Chain A
Amino acid sequence: MAEPAYLVASDSETTGEEKSSSPFPDIAIGIDIGTSQCSVAVWSGSQVELVRNTRNQKLMRSYVTFKDEIPAGGVSNQLAHEYEMLSGAAIFNMKRLIGRVDTDPVVHASKSLPFLVQTLNIGVRPFIAALVKNMWRSTTPEEVLAIFLVELRAMAEVQLKRPVRNVVLTIPVSFSRFQITRIERACAIAGLQVLRLMPEPTAVALLYAQQQQQNVHENMGSGSEKIALIFNMGAGFCDVAVTATAGGVSQIKALAGTALGGEDILLNMMRHLLPDMDSHFSTRGIDEIRRMGLLRVATQDAIHKLSSQFNVQIDVDLGNGRKISKALGREEFEDVNREVFEKCESLIKQCLHDAKVEVEDISDVILVGGCSNIPKLRNIITGFCKREIYNGINPLEAAVRGAALEGAVASGVNDPFGSLDLLTIQATPLSIGVRADGNSFVPIIHQNTTMPVRRDVIFTTVHDNQAEALIIVYEGDEKAVEKNHLLGYFKITGIPPAPKGVPEINVCMDIDASNVLRVFAGVIMPGVQNPAAPVMEVRMPTVDDGHGWCAEALNRTYGSTLDLVTVQKKGAH
């Protein structure tokens, strides 16, 4: 994976000239903001290249430290030591916190991080603060992410010698649309325009599609369809995708994902080594933060070592007369994290089931992300898929390279050698529907539907002379409506007086290729051609922070007075 030298800032002027006179000045760059690490890549005119920072790093730690007057992120800042990141002054893991409310288990799991994550458990945004000169200075995950993106943008502009505006970002499969709006907001603060948001495994799928396409060209072999299973596990999230690839087109068959990653494994191990960790850490004084940092670094090292060796000795002096000295075996590690690995396996099973693909049909199994070195994980996947892991892809660079490819394709760049003769056909990771038929979730666009998509379902009123109806839009796959993510709500007014069940209320949802969701709703009376009232077009999500309250408030205020029921039983599945 040797990169051309021009990426180094001090390289000759001529290569720089070439870059600035590039025929595609607006070509979007690919950014992979990982929970722990982050990278930027761009189509150079003939291939994808990773952009390096001034310290010649391709992968940069995702954190922002507030210890100085001006906050500094992992792109420009050099950590003196890992402990500096754990001093409480640095905020990291923002990807796990962004767009989540304080009742979310993932937020609660983050309370053992060195910075402050305060929860009031009422369904609002958690309070996050960094320790600066012994004071908790408040911030938000969006702000932290924006500061970090500004640094990434500045770095890319210096290296590419042109302004950077358009980006393709990779996101976890399990991100809700509300979380996506937070990411977009952070990009907007950083002056970046989001061209596409790609679920991480689909970016890997595009890179795989390109490789397959090249193989076909080189060997003049058959361009037959290949099914690949992509498993991506980083520090924060675990994603699975099944893709069918032929002729440079990657068609996503199914997606599955959850907020589960190396961070959870680390936390399990820390609790295993220090069972009363949480009580130890409750007051969060400077000494306690330091001790927690020591434990965290020692555990992290041990986990890394267990990928290559079977036993590891942990010796850490937490001060305060507290010492941990323990020999840890790989089996013990696997046992402590059994649930994590089981969850990974069930996610793969679910994804294959949703894609209607049998294990025997899989041509390649691709394993990427920071956790891809864990032997247990590799064993589970090779055992389950009865196949060796595909080795043509760098597990830490796959997602960002795919994002850069998508950036070039969606920016309209053509490659004379056909290297960009590519396309990803995305699928919806979660169902989208409305509350109807009492307190049920009625999906309108189902999970794993090919995008872009437009679907509609016809509803009707539940009361005689019902003049208004409430459309409450949710995203998710839970039967009980309140377990899904609320995306927004609006009211249809001006339904002409009629017995219940007569007016037809058509709710149509449209998702375009850039993943923008529009909800349309109109009222039609039988025998009348034109809608009874102007049709509503609402771009979703409309909810803002504290949205946990909205559904409950609506319920309290309106009860079932503005309810709807389905006419046609659930559209095509």
Chain B
Amino acid sequence: MLSLFPFHQQFFRPNSLQTHPHFNLNNPVWWRRQNSVGVVRCNRNGVEESKSYYELLGLCVDASPQEIKDAYRKLQKKYHPDIAGEKGHESTLMLNKAYKVLMKDDLRKQYDASIGKISDNLRGGSIWEGSLRPQALFVDENACIGCRECVHHAGNTFMMDEIFGTARVKVQYGDDEERIEISVDSCPVNCIHWVDTEELEVLEYLIQPQAKVGYGIYGQGWERPANVFMAAKSFNKQLKQQEENQQRCTKSTDEEETPAQAQARESAYRELKVGRFARLWSWMKRSTSQ
């Protein structure tokens, strides 16, 4: 257990290496080169090393064990030394470590807690600088062409997602209003939108690319709704409908459905509701702690 912990810290706080000398020894690159001067540099350079386990496997934080397994196998087929040769060694070590942690409930909980605190660039929505405002910024990543203009003008608000080559909002109102205005205007494809704060959470959730199930090695990849605003509308509608259904059903008699059905539906509804609440809650917490 303990030996895993330094590992997180190493990957999420590269700067802490100076204060914890023995973490140097954990650095795989260091072992190969035996050159401690390069420690911090190597850490920064290694793209994979700065990613969270979820990013490494291309998953969202609430991925199911089955999704983790599938992603792990797919990536192993690409990076395992049997296929990629010697150079696959380091990546496979990372994959094995990530898989081991994410597949064990207790280790995953511990890990989730550790990244919740230190990782701020984890996919899962923007955070708020200062108090909540009625309007929020949202980048339609489908339209974004990755020109970096917005990041150039308001670097505290926008960030580039290097994996997908698109910009997104890192911190709401991270820069002063003037800079934000300039950056919104600078977008050549007008993909930065002012949206209602209530809508933001659903939009940010839906714009996250979801792994597409492939067939063999073909057809895998990522997909997201083509029109995220329409998708958000129908998502909200569904949610509302379900809420109404729920109310109607509890009011009316349960005779039409068996107790098991009712229970299943109830738990599905609760999951949806709780999931939504949890996301809102964590978002609130993050914004207040700023």
A residues with a Cβ closer than 8 A to B are 196, 225, 246-249, 251, 406, 409-410, 412, 418, 421, 423-425, 450-458, 504, 506, 508, 510, 512-514, 520, 522, 524-531, 534-535, 537, 568-569, 571-573
Contacts and interface: CB of A to CB of B under 8 A. Distances in A.
Interface string B89-130: 100110010011000000100000000000000000000000
Contacts of A246: 69-70, 73
Given A454-B93, A513-B92, A571-B3, A421 B28 contact: no
A569 B28 CA distance: 22
Contacts of A453: 93, 96
B74 to A, nearest CB: 8
Interface of B: 1-4, 17-18, 21-22, 24-26, 28, 31, 34, 36, 69-70, 73-74, 76-77, 80-83, 85-86, 88-89, 92-93, 96, 99-100, 107, 216-217
Given A423-B83, A457-B3, A537-B31, 12 more contacts: A249-B77, A421-B217, A423-B73, A450-B96, A450-B99, A450-B100, A452-B81, A506-B25, A535-B34, A568-B2, A572-B1, A572-B2
Contacts of A534: 34
A512 B93 CA distance: 9
Given A425-B76, A450-B100, A531-B36, A456 B81 contact: no
A520 B83 CA distance: 26
Contacts, number: 111
A335 to B, nearest CB: 44
29 contacts: A247-B70, A248-B77, A406-B82, A409-B82, A421-B77, A423-B76, A423-B83, A425-B76, A450-B96, A450-B99, A450-B100, A452-B89, A452-B93, A454-B93, A456-B25, A504-B21, A506-B22, A513-B81, A513-B82, A522-B25, A527-B21, A529-B17, A529-B18, A530-B24, A530-B36, A568-B3, A569-B2, A572-B100, A572-B107
A247 B25 contact: no
Given A225-B69, A456-B26, A423 B82 contact: yes
Contacts of A520: 31
Nearest to B78: A423
Contact of A514 (B4, B18, B81): B81
A247 B73 contact: yes
A513 B88 CA distance: 9
A537 B32 CA distance: 9
Nearest to B214: A247
B81 A458 contact: no
A418 to B, nearest CB: 6
B76 A249 contact: yes
A356 to B, nearest CB: 10
B81 to A, nearest CB: 4
A530 B25 CA distance: 10
A571 B86 CA distance: 26
